[in-house]
């Protein structure tokens, strides 16, 4: 329940910030072009707070925080006399109307640039993309990728950390081949590896893009000695203690391999299973009953323990922190990279290279908001920047109910010299509403199926 409240609160804060930024873009440019703004609303429905400024604009925070709008004076829907016609939205030139509508998505992109800028000024703790284990018979195994090599580029795109690797791989979905440039384990030279991705199967709801190729990031050595036994967990109820060393599970010896024990315990949800431990030089027999948890759409056993692990090598860790000028350059690169990637994903959805099952809705966004806020300000800023870019791009889609649909009509007006007929616009708005609701329904269904 606490997790739900935290995720919901983080979601409301994130969405409130991004909607305010988007609508302020429309508001600011409308004011600069002499349009009378009647209402600036964050949310829909009944107002829970309102205030008027000296220009007569009503600022509102409404009950349902799932959107917002800027209502401008418009002679097509409002009674306007000749004295105020020059302050109407429809009374402005097509260029001015294009600027006002485009300002919303543009504000989202500018905000992402700002969020990344602050993030890089503060500094982002990162780890180098060092290859750990390679899954046998995987795409990576067939390409003979080396363990302990560092991935420094994918098809010419530089990769500093695992997030860069993930983004580069996602942008390559649908390609038949990938080139990975890897710094050799001895750190002396670089070598390129060709990965055949014609039969690459990537399901984001089940695994990461990295794991789908058979690459496991380097992890510090993990031992079978327990470092943490969660209070009230199945492990604590069975009598396990910090310092216990695991010997076997269900008669199978662990042989100092934590993963063997972890994989086995997952197969016993709500079932009694015998384990053998070493405590203070004595071998003890215990019986545990793991709880059932849902993970990647599967029911697994959960025990509630963490093992002792070696420190992560300091040479594999670094911080992405820059001065004021360099941070601006890096934030611009990051913003452009994500804008480009988002458009690529839309194109691949249309061509079928990416399944609609990959669409995420408000539940996934809320979970992302909560988890990023958990990690701290730097990660929450990164999350806000990503969602802000997505919000800007979604609004640029040429659906009549979105900013992109209005822009589409205005560009037609720019070319033909006359506005699109009202009847055609109404048909377009109906089509756009159906299309948008369909996409939202698919996204929410995907969210629910992942719970």
Concerning whether 23 is annotated as a catalytic residue, the answer is yes
Contact 225, 240 (CB under 8 A): no
**How many CB atoms lie under 10 A from the CB of residue 261?**
23
Strand partners, 284: 277
Its sign, for the CA torsion 437, 439, 442, 446, is negative
CA distance readout (Å), 291 to 252, 262, 303? 21, 14, 7
Measured CA to CA, the distance from residue 107 to residue 40 in angstroms comes to 15
Using CA atoms, how far apart are residues 276 and 224, in angstroms rounded to an integer?
12
Angle at 285 between CA 281 and CA 286, to 5 degrees: 120
DSSP 58-69: EEEEEEEEEEEE
How far apart CA 97 and CA 77 sit, in angstroms, is 16
The number of beta carbons lying within 10 Å of the beta carbon of residue 278 is 15
DSSP for residue 358: G
Alpha helices in 157-250 (DSSP H): 162-171, 209-212, 234-238
Strand partners, 307: 226
**Do 33 and 96 contact (CB within 8 A), yes or no?**
yes
Round the CA-based radius of gyration of the chain to a whole number and report it. Answer: 27
- What phi and psi, each to the nearest 5 degrees, are found at residue 150? -105, 125
**From 3, 23, 207, 291, the catalytic residue:** 23
Q: 137: phi > 0 → left, psi -120 to 50 → alpha, else beta; which?
A: left
CA distance 160 to 98: 39
Catalytic residues, by residue number, are 23
């Amino acid at each position: 329940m606490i997790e739900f409240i935290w995720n919901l609160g983080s979601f409301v804060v994130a969405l409130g910030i991004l909607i305010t930024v988007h609508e302020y873009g429309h508001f600011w440019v409308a004011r600069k072009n002499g349009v009378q703004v009647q209402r600036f609303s964050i949310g829909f429905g009944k107002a829970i707070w309102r205030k008027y400024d000296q220009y007569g604009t009503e600022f509102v925070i409404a009950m349902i925080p799932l959107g917002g709008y800027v209502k401008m004076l418009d002679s097509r829907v409002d009674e306007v006399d000749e004295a105020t016609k020059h302050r109407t939205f429809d009374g402005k030139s097509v260029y001015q109307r294009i600027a006002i509508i485009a300002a919303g998505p543009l504000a989202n992109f500018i905000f992402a640039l700002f969020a990344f800028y602050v993030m890089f000024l503060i500094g982002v703790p990162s780890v180098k993309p060092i290859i750990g284990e390679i899954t046998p018979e995987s795409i990576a195994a067939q390409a003979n990728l080396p363990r302990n090599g560092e991935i420094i580029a994918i098809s010419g795109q530089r990769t500093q950390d695992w997030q860069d690797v993930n983004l580069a791989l996602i942008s390559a979905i649908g390609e038949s081949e990938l080139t990975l440039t890897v710094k050799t384990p001895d750190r002396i030279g670089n070598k390129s590896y060709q990965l055949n991705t014609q039969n690459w199967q990537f399901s984001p709801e089940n695994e990461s893009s990295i794991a789908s190729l058979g690459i496991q990031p380097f992890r510090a050595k993990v031992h079978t000695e327990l470092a943490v036994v969660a209070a009230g967990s199945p492990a604590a109820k069975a009598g396990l203690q910090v310092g216990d060393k695991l010997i076997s599970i269900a008669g199978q010896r662990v042989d100092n391999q934590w993963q063997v024990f972890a994989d086995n315990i997952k197969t016993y949800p709500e079932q009694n299973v015998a384990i053998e431990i070493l405590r203070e030089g004595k071998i003890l027999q215990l019986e545990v009953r793991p709880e059932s948890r849902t993970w990647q759409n599967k029911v697994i056993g959960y025990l509630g323990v963490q093992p002792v692990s070696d420190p992560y090598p300091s040479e594999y860790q670094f911080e992405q922190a820059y001065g004021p000028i360099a941070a601006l350059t890096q934030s611009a690169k990051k913003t452009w990279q994500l804008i480009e990637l988002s458009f690529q994903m839309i194109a691949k959805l249309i061509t079928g290279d990416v399944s609609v099952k990959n669409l995420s809705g408000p539940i996934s966004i809320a979970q992302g908001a909560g988890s990023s806020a958990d990690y701290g300000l730097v990660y929450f800023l990164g999350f806000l920047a990503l969602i802000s870019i997505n919000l800007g791009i979604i609004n640029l889609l040429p659906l009549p109910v979105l900013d992109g649909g209005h822009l589409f009509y205005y560009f037609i007006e720019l070319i033909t010299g006359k506005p699109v007929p009202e009847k055609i616009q109404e048909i377009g708005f109906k089509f756009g509403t159906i299309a948008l609701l369909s996409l939202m329904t698919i996204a929410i269904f995907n969210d629910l199926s992942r719970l």
